[in-house]
A and B are shown apart, each in its own frame.
Chain A
């Protein structure tokens, strides 16, 4: 068993603080701080009084847990069974694997070296049970320097805190004159059980290696990777398609067992001369329907700039599902609405695969009064309607004509003013080389600039130009949305722009 503890190594005293029952207390300290009298559990005020130059940062338990999990994954290189013991410990089952790394001492040294490489301070101990290894690391006098020569003796020398009992029980034990684990182990188990309960006996037996507790290793799901190798390279389109369909059926079976559906599929074709072709497709909804995925790959192949060249043939084909999401087994009889949804999702997948993920979009309203920022066009493959709709489209007012145009120019296009009316829209303007006569207009609808987004925007005159929008209609009945960029007091000669077209 190996036990490790992570910490930080700095020359300056550093402490992480955390809130314990409303008071700020030190949650972790580095070596420099420990040397100068800091200890975990001290109140921050006391610590500051003792050591004014203590560097303090807030403890982020979630980030610590995340990091510990990553370290646990890293430890998978040494042992298939790694257990996380929060907040700062990892337990590895070394039975049957230590000989690969030169025995227990070699394994411990490798783990320490690897952790030191990434800046972690570790304490490592090995023992017959995971509880004993953890106790040796946390309470042992040798302070975790690899395997100990006399394991039984080291464990018996541990303080009774290593039993992990309740404070009352630990206090009672020490009052009775029992200071070490060995002292307790010398008594009869029946007496301890009668006095301190069954847990004390269990903890003791586990420490002494007389009883094993199962460890709960983190489970890493097998990657969804499927492969076919061929003794003879294959090059025929039909053979490749058949092989792919076979792979996809296998993947579908595996995903069905795990209640998963793929959102992303990667097909890699290894040519016998070493070249590799990699094709990737995405779907909007998780799926494991082989025919559907095959159709999408067909689209992808058809959209390739230079077609797939099998050359002397492919000798290996792999299918990887890098992104999968939960998908429960489907009912055999879909009702009409679900069927429609599925058909729509398939259409979106197909068009997005062929034309690119950004070609097909859904419009989502945004909370902005700037007309050009009032909507956000999101890729349809990544967005189902109603997923995030905190804002609704502004409801048109009863009896009013449309106040927002159907099309907006991005950016607005400048128009030349022929006949200007102060404080009103122009009578005549020229846009794209054509002269327009305004017969009807409404406005202005005044839209202020987003002064809060600008540096020093709160100072008058620095907040950006105000826009005065006019709905105008020309003699033919075509309706436009034009604006003057800047009030007359803001700018001496403001420009006019065409921003949008009404139906």
Chain B
């Protein structure tokens, strides 16, 4: 999205640390989806030939959000085959694994999904992250849920919450949920403007964000009857 890229001076930078805060605990899944979408962009579109993504989760994240699904990742336009998903019980282990991942230049991006205030994740730890990321060029996306922003060495800091999707009309009563939408705010940017907010919709086909037409209903496509959406899907 041009406005966002302009604000960032050309998209999310590689080789540094970006923090993504979920606005509320309930926005954890939306923040994770936003992080995954952003990481896919940094890994090289998520298409074949892209570099692998390392997604590290704390055990609390698994309890709160559930098991990470390759099918859901593919539904967002990614290629789950090359990805690595790690679940680490203790915070120190999680942070060390992230640093090891950052030192491996073969990775496209590292995501750390942390829940709650992590005492060990202080300014020193985030400086270590930033240093490792700078040396290898691998970006770290630090997803934080149920945590208050604290001083860090991050290049950018975002707040993400779920936004009502652009509804799809269906033959039955009510509207169907559309493509994932996010309300994002740039809380802080090192040496750059901050405070802007956007409502973004993830475009799976182009593998990029676009500005969401908030609240608008997308007109029914011409090449497909509107009743199609109401047709009950069956599987057995």
Contacts and interface: CB of A to CB of B under 8 A. Distances in A.
Contact of A410 (B67, B97, B178): B67
Contacts of B202: 503
Contact of A440 (B51, B65, B106, B177): B177
A360 B53 CA distance: 12
Interface string A352-382: 0011000111111100010100110100100
Given A409-B66, A473-B164, A500-B69, A360 B75 contact: no
Contacts of B73: 363, 406
Given A442-B177, A471-B176, A503-B180, A478 B29 contact: yes
Contact of B205 (A394, A398, A476, A478): A398
Nearest to B178: A401
Contact of A406 (B33, B77, B204): B33
Contacts of A405: 29, 69, 72
B174 interface: yes
In which size bucket is the chain B interface? 35 or more
Given A393-B81, A503-B34, A402 B97 contact: no
B83 A362 contact: yes
Nearest to B104: A347
A57 interface: no
Contact of B229 (A377, A394, A434, A442): A442
Contact of A393 (B74, B86, B205): B74
Contacts of A49: none
B72 A479 contact: no
B177 A503 contact: no
A36 interface: no
A395 interface: yes
B176 A440 contact: yes
Contacts of A339: 106
Contacts of B79: 393
Nearest to A374: B71
Given A344-B52, A363-B85, A473-B165, A393 B66 contact: no
A101 to B, nearest CB: 57
Interface in A401-456: 401-410, 424, 434, 439-448
Given A355-B88, A445-B232, A503 B105 contact: no
A134 to B, nearest CB: 55
A477 to B, nearest CB: 4
A404 B77 CA distance: 12
A350 interface: yes
Given A343-B106, A442-B170, A503-B202, A369 B236 contact: yes
B81 to A, nearest CB: 5
A396 B180 CA distance: 14
A403 B82 CA distance: 22
Given A354-B93, A471-B176, A502-B29, A477 B85 contact: no
B137 to A, nearest CB: 12
Interface in B152-203: 161-165, 167-168, 170, 173-181, 183, 202
Given A351-B97, A447-B235, A503-B37, A386 B69 contact: no
B72 A401 contact: no
Contacts of A475: 164
A389 B80 CA distance: 12
B99 to A, nearest CB: 11
A363 B83 contact: yes
Contacts of B105: 340, 343
Given A401-B180, A446-B235, A350 B84 contact: no
A170 to B, nearest CB: 62
Interface string B122-164: 0000000000000000000000000000000000000001111
Contacts of A360: 84-86
A399 interface: yes
B36 A503 contact: yes
Given A406-B68, A445-B233, A479 B104 contact: no
A344 B75 contact: no
Given A476-B161, A477-B164, A351 B100 contact: yes
A365 B70 contact: yes
B33 A503 contact: yes
A434 B164 CA distance: 19
B76 interface: yes
A346 B164 contact: no
A326 to B, nearest CB: 24
Contacts of A399: 205, 221, 224
Contacts, number: 226
Contacts of B4: none
Contacts of A476: 26-27, 161-162, 164
Interface centre among A343, A344, A443, A446 (most CB of B within 10 A): A344
B198 to A, nearest CB: 14
Nearest to A346: B104
A274 interface: no
B234 interface: yes
Contacts of B107: 344, 347
A341 B107 CA distance: 10
Contact of B177 (A369, A377, A395, A471): A471
A502 B174 CA distance: 19
Nearest to A406: B72
A396 B75 contact: yes
Contact of A355 (B93, B178, B180, B181): B93
A410 B181 contact: no
Nearest to A336: B106
A501 interface: yes
B70 A361 contact: no
A346 B100 CA distance: 10
A248 interface: no
B43 interface: no
B41 interface: no
A365 B71 contact: yes
B235 A445 contact: yes
Given A347-B107, A362-B81, 20 more contacts: A343-B105, A355-B97, A360-B85, A360-B86, A374-B69, A393-B71, A393-B74, A396-B77, A401-B165, A401-B177, A404-B74, A406-B69, A407-B66, A408-B67, A440-B174, A444-B232, A446-B233, A477-B164, A479-B162, A503-B34
21 contacts: A343-B104, A343-B106, A346-B104, A351-B86, A354-B96, A371-B71, A393-B79, A394-B71, A399-B221, A401-B179, A408-B69, A446-B232, A446-B235, A447-B235, A447-B236, A473-B164, A477-B162, A500-B72, A502-B29, A503-B30, A503-B32
